[in-house]
Amino acid sequence: MNSKVTVSAAVLFVAAMFISSHGTSAAPGDVCSLTTQQEVSAALGVAVDPGKMLNPKTCQFHEQVKPGEPGWTVDVNSNSAAFYNAMKSTPTGTHTPVSGLGDEAFFALWKPGKDVNESLWVKKGDAAFNIRIWGAKPITDADREAKERAIASDVLKRL
């Protein structure tokens, strides 16, 4: 029975990530216009490359590091309020409410299989987005959450 729940959770997570990158949103058409290289650098406290649009809903920033050195990656994903609500009600992982950001926000922790996906989800009106900092460079949960909050505050100025 547990394996069925795990498989169901994994399928739901994959579907959610697909919809996240392909779903509709009330956010601006160019997801990379939601925040700037300077804002992400300031939030992380390190230099990052300019944002690169991976698809119409995902902009990615990479820490500027020497080849072979670990660094952080920041994903900014544009979503709809409906998708935000669906993610908020997923039965997998944990959702911790966050105050002071948009109309509603939460930190999410999902562990599909061996992977760990931690991100900040924010909803404002009909638009929503999530911020995820990840990579091989160590970071504490508190530091990651503070950095994601700072980036989210900048994104909210443009929604």
Tens place of pLDDT per residue across the chain (159 aa): 444 443 334 333 434 444 444 343 344 578 999 999 999 999 999 999 999 999 999 999 999 999 999 999 999 999 999 999 999 988 778 899 999 999 999 999 887 666 678 999 999 999 999 999 999 898 888 999 999 999 999 999 998
- The strand pairing partners of 119, in sequence order, are 108
Helices (H), the chain: 2-22, 37-44, 81-88, 141-156
Q: What is the pLDDT of residue 114?
A: 64
Q: What is the pLDDT of residue 113?
A: 67
Q: How many domains does the chain have?
A: 1
Q: What is the pLDDT of residue 58?
A: 97
Q: What is the pLDDT of residue 93?
A: 82
Range of the domain at 113: 2-156
* 3-state SS assignment for residue 10: helix
CATH of residue 18's domain is 3.40.1000
Tokens encoding 91: 């039965």
Q: What is the pLDDT of residue 55?
A: 95
Residue 151 near residue 131, CB atoms below 8 Å = yes
Question: What are the Cα distances from residue 90, in Å, to 10, 93, 96?
Answer: 11, 8, 13
Q: What is the pLDDT of residue 14?
A: 37
Q: What is the pLDDT of residue 28?
A: 53
- Strand-strand pairing, 72-80 and 52-55: unpaired
Closest CA to 57 of 28, 88, 90: 28
Helices (H), 23-52: 37-44
